[in-house]
Amino acid sequence: MLTLFQFAPAFNVPNPSPYCLKVETYLRMAGLEYRVRSMADPRKAPRGKLPFIELDGQLIADSAIILRTLSERGSDLDAPLDAPGRARALAIARLCDEHLAVLTVYFRWIDDEGWAQIKPAFFGTLPAPLRWIVPGLIRRKLANGYVAQGIGRHSRNELLDFAREDLQALDALLGAAAFFGGAQPCSADASAYGVLANLILATAETPVNRMAREFPRLVAYCQRVREQFWA
């Protein structure tokens, strides 16, 4: 049995992490059996981040490596796609995972409006004095990471422009199709739902969440995936 280690649900979505929600959505789309173990502290994960899975006694970290491993073992949602279709799926997944999801998490943890919701939701039950110290330490560590990565060097408006470009691109790539894979979901749908559900369906409010809800096709997409795979 495959075990998925991830954060507990929050903000009215199955997972507040786009990467955890991506993996669990893939498991559901591929019809795989799994069980979930909730973890609060990603430092205990093999690479210090969630999600990771345990499969046949092996720990596998990173959502992209998890999906590749599952594909290699016969659960390949991209199998019906031709080479350009697979390349497109990879490009959409990278756009979601490496850019839009990064902006989504940034606006929750670093922008003040998001932080005012994250802090009580994730740290509210910590005992004092940890409750006063730990949130600021983690936020500072993340802020330093964003400066090193690059997005922490941009103005708020520049970041919002990036987010709008990402959403416009996803809206155009989806077009009138049911899924990014066409009539059936492909691997890109796992990444897309992981981040779009966190923007469109989550109760966490940030400027990027509000912006994402301006795209009716992406809103309908989230509702479709939720009804088909999460009801």
Query: Binding residues for ligand GSH, per CB under 6 A?
Result: 17, 19, 42, 48-51, 62-64, 97, 105
Which residues, 6 or more positions from 153, have their beta carbon under 8 angstroms from its beta carbon? Answer: 147
CB of 230 to ligand GSH, least distance (A): 19
Distance of CA 97 to the CA centre of its chain: 7
DSSP per-residue codes, 93-121: HHHIIIIIHHHHHHHHHTSHHHHHHHHHH
Our CB check for ligand GSH shows the closer of 151 and 155 to be 151
CB of 66 to ligand GSH, least distance (A): 7
Our CB check for ligand GSH shows the closer of 142 and 178 to be 142
CB of 216 to ligand GSH, least distance (A): 27
CA distance 164 to 213: 11
What are the structure tokens assigned to 68, written together? 């590749």
CB of 97 to ligand GSH, least distance (A): 6
Our CB check for ligand GSH shows the closer of 137 and 220 to be 137
In 3D space, the residue among 78, 93, 76, 67 whose CA is nearest the CA of residue 2 turns out to be 67
CA distance 182 to 19: 22
What is the helix (H) or strand (E) element at residue 67, kind and residue range?
Answer: helix 63-72
Helices 101-109 & 130-149 angle (0-180, nearest 10)? 140
CB of 217 to ligand GSH, least distance (A): 25
What are the structure tokens assigned to 140, written together? 């500072």
CB of 101 to ligand GSH, least distance (A): 7
Our CB check for ligand GSH shows the closer of 14 and 51 to be 51
Our CB check for ligand GSH shows the closer of 70 and 80 to be 70
Our CB check for ligand GSH shows the closer of 133 and 177 to be 133
